[in-house]
Amino acid sequence: MTAGRWRSAIVALVATFGTTMPSVAHAGLYQDDLSRCIVAAAKAEDRTALLRWVFAAMATNPTIQDMTRVAPEQAAALSANTAKLMQRLLLVDCRKQAVDAIKYEQGGAIQHAFGTLGQIAMSDLMREDSTSAYMGSLDQHLDKAKWAELMAEAGVKAPAPDKAP
């Protein structure tokens, strides 16, 4: 794989991280095998390292740059650690699956596998109590009557409002 294709794979990983990835549904047998292997081989600390790297990458975006700062030396260390992680997972732990996926299905195999790992890592993050509580706080700002109208229009019964303890 050329340097440009590796760069594209990494950019695609960042771009698809935490999304629903419609391409996941169309993955071939070998891509699925590679994804399963990478997910099984990645430990909790590996998933955390991947999340931290993606967060640092996102922090460079001008849209959210004012909300956080990652020191250049910290960003460099995160990139180096993530490169080691990707290499371990692809070149050692899941080498056979990686070779087969690239050989038989070519494009998208690596992005698919790391996108799947990213989804699982994001799920881990969202299940943490403080993160989950913050995400749930959005409910305080929703107009429940308008949501109930939308559900009724769709023919779905809206959930009963929460009762105060």
Q: Is the pLDDT of residue 16 over 60?
A: no
Least trusted range by pLDDT, from 13-17, 85-89, 130-134, 143-147: 13-17
Query: Tell me, what's the pLDDT at 26?
Result: 61
Question: What is the torsional sign of CA 60, 135, 120, 28?
Answer: negative
Nearest to 9 by CA among 93, 71, 101: 101
Nearest to 54 by CA among 91, 27, 19, 92: 19
- Buried b / exposed e across 114-138, counting CB within 10 Å, b at 16+? bbbbbbbbbeeeeeeeeeeeeeeee
Query: Tell me, what's the pLDDT at 20?
Result: 40
Mean pLDDT, residues 8-32? 57
Query: Tell me, what's the pLDDT at 82?
Result: 97
The full set of domain ranges for the chain reads: 3-153
Q: Is the pLDDT of residue 4 over 80?
A: no
Q: What percent of the chain has pLDDT over 90?
A: 62
Q: Is the pLDDT of residue 38 over 50?
A: yes
State whether residue 2 is helix, strand or coil: coil
Q: What percent of the chain has pLDDT over 70?
A: 79
Nearest to 135 by CA among 15, 17, 11, 18: 18
Q: Is the pLDDT of residue 114 over 70?
A: yes
Query: Tell me, what's the pLDDT at 95?
Result: 98
CB of 34 closer than 8 Å to CB of 98: yes
